[in-house]
Amino acid sequence: MTQKPNPDPGPLAAARRIVDQAQNFAVLSGAGISAESGLATFRDSDGLWEQHRVEDVATPEAFERDPRLVWRFYNARRKAAHSTRPNAGHIALARLEELGKSVHILTQNVDGLHQRAGSAKVTELHGSAWRVRCTGCGAKSTDHPIELHVLPYCDKCSALLRPDIVWFGEALDPADLAAAARALEACQVFLVVGTSAQVQPAASLAFQAVELGKSVIEINKAPTLLSASATISLIGLAGDMLPRLVSGFGH
């Protein structure tokens, strides 16, 4: 009987080898990583943008027009995020760090689940559902009930408070973009997890990683705009794939 020479180890085994050998990671995450925690994504068939129009709840104009509607939307996001917990995908990324790797997470998510899973270095590119900002004095605060009073006002200057989220038509914080650029430059492996890679400038980080010759490993339940250019594209659920990618190292 002849044995097959060099059987194809499959994309997961190849990705594991890359991850095992690298020390420095940047991770671009999107709503898909929190899907298995029960939080809705945006563009899937059951996603938030199927039930709400972006123009009604996620633009500065929407907030000017109907702040109550916007606050109700974000109160619902806060309530949902509060009542769930990080899943195996978030936990696997935190574990990668525990194993001595440098891991910088660049998340488009505003739910705080990476931090709750124990990841230490998290840049929230689109802001945080847990932080609010005064439209008058600009003060930022986090000490609020899970669902804020509709409408909430600033203790200091009495102006209306808004969610500290980067809405469509608004610029990302330059400090966050600079942190993302540094993470991209420093990493050997750029993981892209649970994002449709459609929203700029976050998505462009993944394409820049490809151009810079980084090992780009994508995990998504379906192919995306990035899949064809990624070094390895793993089709599967983040909560299943990430633990399989990370488990077993450091022993």
Out of 222, 247, 248, 250, name the contact with ligand OAD by CB under 6 A: 222
Out of 215, 220, 231, 233, name the contact with ligand OAD by CB under 6 A: 220
- 90, 126, 149, 251: the active-site residue: 126
Out of 126, 130, 162, 216, name the contact with ligand OAD by CB under 6 A: 126
By CB under 6 A, is residue 115 in contact with ligand OAD?
Answer: no
Query: Contacts with ligand OAD in 145-164 (CB under 6 A)?
Result: none
Residue closest to ligand OAD when measured from CB atoms: 32
Closer to ligand OAD by Cβ: residue 44 or 102 = 44
Closer to ligand OAD by Cβ: residue 227 or 250 = 227
For the question of residue 90 being annotated catalytic, the response is no
Q: Is the peptide bond before 172 cis (omega within 30 degrees of 0)?
A: no
By CB under 6 A, is residue 196 in contact with ligand OAD?
Answer: yes
Query: Contacts with ligand OAD in 22-41 (CB under 6 A)?
Result: 30-32, 35-36, 41
Task: Report yes or no: 125 and 172 within 8 Å, Cβ to Cβ.
Answer: yes
Summarize as ranges the residues that interact with ligand OAD (CB under 6 A): 30-32, 35-36, 41-44, 47, 58, 108, 126, 166-167, 194-196, 198-199, 219-222, 224, 237-238
List residues with catalytic annotation: 126
